[in-house]
Chain A
Amino acid sequence: ILNVEQSPQSLHVQEGDSTNFTCSFPSSNFYALHWYRWETAKSPEALFVMTLNGDEKKKGRISATLNTKEGYSYLYIKGSQPEDSATYLCASLNDYKLSFGAGTTVTVRA
């Protein structure tokens, strides 16, 4: 089981502010890095799958970067909105299975 770590564990953001948080993962035997958003009472939903060092992906106000050499990924939320409140999970793909971090829970205050 890979040691995937996310920080911070939780954060509170004022509506309209931007924020970012980190996922670190072992860089050896790396295949891909997944980001998921998990809203309360819903299914985890994939945001991004990144494979190459230097990858940057964007979906609306949310974007992510990947550094496979040092083993970290950042997720950015620009202009946070209340609907961005969720737990954001990252997961490192090793062979056929994902190893997840514990998540960063984001609460956006109106």
Chain B
Amino acid sequence: DTGVSQDPRHKITKRGQNVTFRCDPISEHNRLYWYRQTLGQGPEFLTYFQNEAQLEKSRLLSDRFSAERPKGSFSTLEIQRTEQGDSAMYLCASRGGDFYNEQFFGPGTRLTVL
């Protein structure tokens, strides 16, 4: 396992369409995070899983956003009825071990909503 992977790397969609992103974490990591990063800002926390349980959702995550981690391995982030304001880099990270440990990030999915 060489690290966290995300698919696709880039996604261009029209406003109103649904999109789904996938994240494959490091296999032994039981904690998985989603972040969103817009131009000029740092990554902002969206949601967090411990194994298959979604433990926290940011208020940034509107009802159009849903995330799953069905078997405690890979995770998906779906955005329904995309809006131009959803255009951003969506980052996934995973962590194992102790509470303070570093998070390992994927390369991100760049979403552009036209």
A residues in contact (CB < 8 Å) with B: 1, 4, 6, 31-32, 34, 36, 41-46, 49, 51, 89, 91, 93, 96-103
Contacts and interface: CB of A to CB of B under 8 A. Distances in A.
B53 to A, nearest CB: 12
Contacts of A100: 35, 42-44
B3 A49 contact: no
Interface of B: 3-4, 31, 33, 35, 40-45, 48, 55-56, 58, 91, 99-108
A43 B108 contact: yes
Secondary structure at the B interface, as helix, strand, loop or mixed, is loop
B102 A49 contact: yes
Looking at A44, A91, A103, the one whose CB has the most chain B CB atoms below 10 A away is A44
Contacts of B105: 36, 43-45
A99 B60 CA distance: 13
A34 B55 CA distance: 22
27 contacts: A1-B58, A4-B42, A6-B42, A31-B100, A34-B102, A34-B103, A36-B105, A42-B107, A43-B105, A43-B106, A43-B107, A44-B43, A44-B105, A49-B100, A49-B101, A89-B43, A91-B42, A91-B43, A96-B31, A97-B48, A97-B56, A100-B35, A100-B43, A100-B44, A101-B42, A102-B42, A103-B42
A15 B91 CA distance: 31
Contacts of A99: 45
A96 B55 contact: yes
Nearest to B95: A96
Contacts of B43: 44, 89, 91, 98, 100
B56 A96 contact: yes
Contacts of A44: 43, 91, 105
Contacts of B107: 41-43
